[in-house]
Structure 1
């Protein structure tokens, strides 16, 4: 079948875009023809991108592609001011629409009634919805639960030794906070916890997400959050133990997870986390807070589980959100080789593509 993906898309810096690219490639490997409408134009867009939302010739390009089905990878920050254009395009298309709701719990909690109304309007234009977690399915009302796939990052063009030398990390264990800096991600709690993990270096590998003008207050809030965290680190004499890398090129992601002794997700709110799945795929130990779908990554009883691959499984622990002391204790336990084995790896892109394909077929058969 011919599948048109509507999503932020590389080289744009967006985790949902990276997800869309991997899924589109996995569907292509299964024999489907895929094309992409990107959220925003980019001069270096790959050949599968027909154009971006708002391009004058886009309707004709879509008509020439003749999609059997349209798949939207949706979150409000991913499209920003272009959300109305998404809804307009979906209304104009003849093909049935499937939407994956990546951040429905976060979006509706932040935007409240307008956010719920937006998601109802999106759902009214869709034949089926996909979510990654049970919390998201409860928020969506009715949706297919297909877990976020677990795929390793691309091979790195650098090494752990090179990163340690470039950022003056020495031989200290690295605590990695990866991804966009966002007030809900609890970087301030992690900075506070660092006071109780005195032999480690904290690497904040990411930057504040740039946003469209309508959402600029959220970007400014996140930038203020980063400034406050940096000020607190200086106040507590910890600034020399923290590295802010800024945006991490895709070709260096694997090296950062290989360098990390533990990846930490100190989130206050979360639906799910692509960062967690990068850690799992990289076999990097993980500490996370018990919010959203993150507890599903851990053994429910805390007892050992068999990893999908041979060898010692990565180890991890959950901590309560907002509790720096408990977060520090979990980090210390994992650094010392403790913690519980993580659950087996989540489905790979091939399995997620197969399950997505099965949903497409039900949609096209009118069985959804």
Structure 2
């Protein structure tokens, strides 16, 4: 007997960053599966809608761009609920996947629950990192988890935290691998002219190890160029990095279309974190043929421990410097870039199969 078409709704209502990107890539992966009908739902203000990787078909939901607008959106929740009920009624999904939790997701979860739709939530962090996230994020995520039928994480580290604490999830939790974001295939590392290139990219917050990098770079003992790129508050650590020779700090938001070029500029991507759940930047770096230096914290250990292109080290300046020097002196052969589309298809298949996990 031929399998019926499975109808999958994917939603994420963030404006910028990893959330909308993951939703688009996951929807694309699901579309590659046989007999799967997919509906993607994004914020009408999602940056990715204006990028060259904009999805072909998407249902847009009016959201917010500030805390004041979020409050206003909550006060007018009735109109949003009507739209969400219409989306669910017209598409009739068998399963709905939240690609990354956000402040308004409980409204969608309530609509899906009443319609009898299975809910899968991808949880990226068991707890917000210091200085990261939005107001009441931890509480809202706990409430959303209570509505879920299945939790997916991108590291066993996060899965273990969700299943071992007092407010643990009471539905199945499965840890899968973080696929790389879609990028290009630039020149291989160290094939350019000039000094080796080191990149640190992401939110410029203290837990990312800005202080460790500032102390480590002078200890490498090699001429190199380093770019620290991302958005964050001014800090002594950033000022210290800016003062180092051949180090540039670019405190700015990186547009969606610039990401592949930025990663491909680097020979080595460094993740000197004090704590981490997993790293989407690291996944993109490896997939683009870059080398990675990462500290042995959180989910980074499982993500990179078996990868020849990555060197793990203790979260101390001397250890980070030694890891960088090791790759600069004797980099292992760089493998070809991976098939990003295939990786997201694999994730999509695993998520749909995970409903049978008890």
- TM-score category (smaller protein): 0.7 to 0.9
Matches within 5 A, 1:1-368: 1-8=6-13, 12-31=15-34, 32-39=36-43, 41-42=45-46, 44=50, 46=55, 48-52=57-61, 55=80, 57-75=83-101, 79=102, 81-106=103-128, 118-141=140-163, 142-150=172-180, 152-154=182-184, 171-197=194-220, 198-208=222-232, 223-225=233-235, 228-234=236-242, 237-238=243-244, 240-244=246-250, 246-299=252-305, 314=309, 316-321=310-315, 323-338=316-331, 348-360=343-355, 362=356, 368=358
Aligned length: 314
Q: Distance in 1 between matches of 2:250 and 2:302?
A: 29
Query: Aligned partners of 2:132, 2:288: CA distance in 1, in Å?
Result: 32
- Secondary structure at the aligned position of 1:59 is classed as helix
Q: Matches of 2:148 and 2:17 in 1, distance apart?
A: 23
Q: CA deviation at 1:154?
A: 4.1
Contact 2:228–2:247 (Cα < 8 Å) also in 1: no
Distance 2:21 2:173 in 1: 22
Distance 2:260 2:331 in 1: 24
Describe the shift of the 1:250–1:117 C-alpha distance in structure 2 as closer, same or farther (beyond 3 A): closer
> Is the alpha carbon distance of 1:30 and 1:70 closer, same or farther for their aligned partners in structure 2, counting shifts above 3 Å?
same
TM-score under structure 2 length normalisation: 0.75
* In 1, Cα distance between equivalents of 2:245 and 2:132: 31
Residues 147 and 182 (structure 1 numbering): CA distance in 2 closer, same or farther, change over 3 Å? Answer: same
Cα distance in 1, alignment partners of residues 131 and 59 from structure 2: 34
Within 2, Cα distance between the matches of 1:89 and 1:182?
36
Q: Secondary structure, in 3 states, of the residue corresponding to 2:215?
A: helix
> In structure 2, how many angstroms separate the alpha carbons of the residues matched to 1:230 and 1:354?
41
Q: 1:236-257: per-residue Cα shift (whole Å, max 9, x none)?
A: x416532417333343333333
CA contact (8 A) 2:181 2:280 kept: no
Which sections of structure 2, spanning at least 5 residues, go unmatched?
Answer: 1-5, 64-76, 164-171
Contact 1:152 1:282 in 2 (8 A): no
Shift of 1:263: 0.5
TM-score, normalised to structure 1, is 0.73
**Matched-pair contact (CA < 8 Å) for 2:88–2:112:** no
C-alpha distance in 1, partners of 2:132/2:122? 19
Q: Deviations over 1:198-230 (max 9, x none)?
A: 51111123223xxxxxxxxxxxxxx133xx233
Structure 1 residue 86, shift from structure 2 partner: 4.8
Residues 224 and 255 (structure 1), Cα distance of their counterparts in 2 relative to 1, 3 Å cut: closer
CA distance in structure 2 between the aligned counterparts of 1:191 and 1:340, rounded to whole angstroms: 28
Segments of 4+ moved more than 6 angstroms: 108-111, 339-342, 344-347
Q: Is the 8 A contact 1:264 1:286 kept in 2?
A: yes
Q: Which blocks of at least 5 consecutive residues in structure 1 are unaligned? A: 165-169, 209-222, 306-312
Report the CA distance shift for 1:171/1:109 in structure 2 as closer, same or farther (over 3 A): closer
| Alpha carbons of structure 1 residues 242 and 224: separation in structure 2 relative to 1, 3 Å | closer
SS in 2 for 1:74: coil
- Contact 1:206–1:247 under 8 Å retained in 2: yes
- What's the Cα RMSD here? 3.5
